[in-house]
A = this chain, B = another copy of it.
Amino acid sequence: MYKETNKRSIVKGISWRVVATSTTIAIVYFFFDRLDLAIAAGMIETVLKVGLYWAHERAWFKVSWGRKKIEPFNLWFTGLPLSGKTTIADAVFKELEKFQIPLERLDSKDIRDVVPNIGFTREDRNRHMHRVGHLIKTLQNNSISTVASFVSPYRESRKAIREMVKNNIVVYVKTDIETCKKRDTKGKYEKAIKGEYQNFTGVNDVYEEPQHAEIIIDTDNTTVDEAVQVIVKYIKKNYVK
């Protein structure tokens, strides 16, 4: 978040003065046909009004009327591991940043890197979702929208998120599990199948498909660019006016 510096108000005053005084000189010249006096009047106007404009600018800076609170939203990407959530969410985030709205990117991996041993059991995941929901809610209190990508395989935890935050938009990244496995260059699915990972969604833990997703991206038939377009269009239509 930013504040307007004094310097900005001064330079803004000067830039306005150039526009305004040229207009005044033209008007006075039009009425009296005396360019010398028109310019003299313009010069006096300049001196007086640079100061007045600055004072006017600072006074308005203290008035909150006409400033509209920005309404935050939460884009929630859910889907199997390696379904393409992070890739699409990253691209959407980049695109949304252009609207100059306060925006934060939350990715499962980043948070799990910071906070040790969150765990992957159903109970662990649900508690984790409560914490993420609290984080998003706190950000929303401050008008910050979020682009969040989490496997979030259980209905009850996605429901908890929906209840905790406002303007929740679930994006279900729907990818065939065979496609996910093919993309898996780190061999995570393989390790899970071998039993090296417990509670790995899609292998030894369930993924409960969302029933009320606002947006469904079928990545087997949609490119990343197309997905970004659909999602950004939705946001533009509903939240960035």
Which residues of A does B touch, CB under 8 Å?
1-5, 7-9, 11-12, 15-16, 19-20, 23-24, 27-28, 31-32, 37, 40-41, 44-45, 48-49, 52-53, 56, 60, 64-70, 102, 104, 106, 111, 114-117, 127, 130-131, 133-135, 138-139, 141-144
A23 touches which of B49, B67, B115 (Cβ 8 Å): B49
Given A5-B68, A65-B8, A127-B117, also A142-B31 (CB < 8 A): no
Is there contact, CB below 8 Å, between B68 and A3? yes
Q: List 20 A-B contacts (CB under 8 A).
A: A1-B69, A1-B144, A2-B69, A2-B70, A3-B67, A8-B66, A9-B66, A11-B66, A20-B20, A20-B53, A23-B52, A27-B48, A28-B28, A31-B41, A32-B32, A32-B37, A114-B130, A117-B127, A138-B139, A139-B142
Chain B min CB distance to A108 (Å): 13
A139 to B40, CA, bound (A): 53
Residues of A contacting B: mostly: helix
- Is there contact, CB below 8 Å, between A15 and B56? yes
Q: A4-B66, A68-B5 are in contact. Are A16 and B134 (CB under 8 A)?
A: no
